[in-house]
């Protein structure tokens, strides 16, 4: 493939992925010193029902990934539509992302208060995929909270809207 073709493919790939509407979550872990750390992700999906498992894709350079490798646990905080500021905060780099954010320890991982749902997971496997690592997590705790989900589509935050009954 010529370098022009590679650049065009990468641009088109980005555009197609921008059109995929995703949920927004904060993946969390405790550091070896017991400090909370978290990272905003859109690449999260359900994987298995028996046993309950999920998968999350993290950039190989993610600091959160290093903490998950150390502790073997992670939390998934599915964000509510009122938490776009939380999503932006955890999409940055740094050790103090939890400053001013309400949280508690749940099944050995940080749970962000006010989130729309929480999954506590243990790491079942780590699978390489290009420049990312896929965390395969076994769910050991699950709590749903009624509300509206925070979504990411076309590079902006939003929420889900049901279609009119007649057009389903
Ligand atoms: C809406 C949104 C979705 C994101 N999804 C992912 C993702 O799925 N995987 C990932 O590795 N980074 C994702 N990021 C980028 C990370 O949040 C960002 O690189 C963060 O600074 C990594 O922090 P860390 O090094 O402390 O782990 C996303 C950012 C935003 C704003």
Residues 17-45 pLDDT 10s: 999 999 999 999 999 999 999 999 999 99
Cα separation, 119 vs 117, whole angstroms: 7
Check whether 84 has a pLDDT greater than 90.
Answer: yes
112 within domain boundaries: yes
- CATH number of the domain bearing residue 33: 2.30.110.10
Please say whether the beta carbons of 115 and 150 come within 8 A: no
Burial of 34 (0-12, 13-18, 19+ CB in 10 A): exposed
Q: What is the pLDDT of residue 166?
A: 61
Whether 149 contacts 160, CB under 8 Å:
yes
* Mean pLDDT computed over every residue of the chain: 96
pLDDT at 6 over 90: no
Tens of pLDDT, residue by residue over 119-142, are: 999 999 999 999 999 999 999 999
Instruction: Verify whether ligand 1 is closer than 6 Å to residue 62 (CB atom).
Output: yes
Written as six digits, the tokens of 101 are 């954010």
pLDDT at 139: 98
Gap from CA of 164 to ligand 1 centroid (Å): 34
Domain of residue 57: give its range: 22-153
Question: For residue 100, is pLDDT > 70?
Answer: yes
Query: Does residue 12 belong to any structural domain of this protein?
Result: no
Q: For the chain, how many structural domains are there in total? A: 1
Please tell me if the CB atom of residue 136 comes closer than 6 angstroms to any atom of ligand 1: no
Give the DSSP letter of residue 166: G
> Cα–chain-centroid distance for residue 84?
13
Task: Report the nearest-CA residue for atom 17 of ligand 1.
Answer: 91
Q: State the distance from the centre of ligand 1 to the C-alpha of 10, rounded, in angstroms.
A: 19
In this prediction, residue 45 carries a pLDDT of 98
Å from CA of 168 to ligand 1 middle: 33
Residue 124 lies in a domain: yes
142 within some domain: yes
Sheet with 25-30: list strands edge to edge.
36-41, 25-30, 73-78, 117-129, 132-144, 53-59, 44-48
Assigned domain for 163 exists:
no
The verdict on residue 128 lying in a domain is yes
Which of 105, 86, 17, 89 is closest to 57 using CA atoms? Answer: 17
Q: Is residue 17 part of a domain?
A: no
* Domain annotation covers residue 166: no
151 lines ligand 1 (CB under 6 A): no
pLDDT at 77: 98
DSSP state of 149: B
């Amino acid at each position: 493939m010529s370098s022009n073709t590679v650049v065009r493919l990468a641009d088109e790939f980005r555009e197609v992925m921008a059109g995929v509407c995703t949920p927004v979550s904060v993946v969390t872990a405790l550091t070896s010193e017991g400090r909370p750390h978290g990272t905003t992700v859109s690449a999260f999906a359900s994987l298995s029902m028996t046993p309950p498992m999920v998968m999350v894709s993290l950039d190989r350079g993610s600091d959160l990934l290093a903490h998950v490798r150390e502790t073997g646990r992670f939390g998934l905080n599915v964000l509510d539509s009122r938490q776009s500021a939380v999503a932006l905060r955890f999409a940055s780099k740094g050790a103090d992302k939890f400053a001013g954010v309400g949280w508690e320890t749940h099944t050995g991982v940080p749970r962000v208060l006010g989130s729309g749902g929480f999954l506590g997971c243990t790491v079942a496997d780590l699978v390489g995929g290009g420049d990312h690592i896929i965390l395969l997590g076994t769910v050991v705790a699950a709590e749903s909270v009624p509300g509206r989900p925070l979504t990411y589509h076309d590079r902006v935050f939003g929420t889900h809207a049901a279609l009119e009954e007649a057009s389903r």
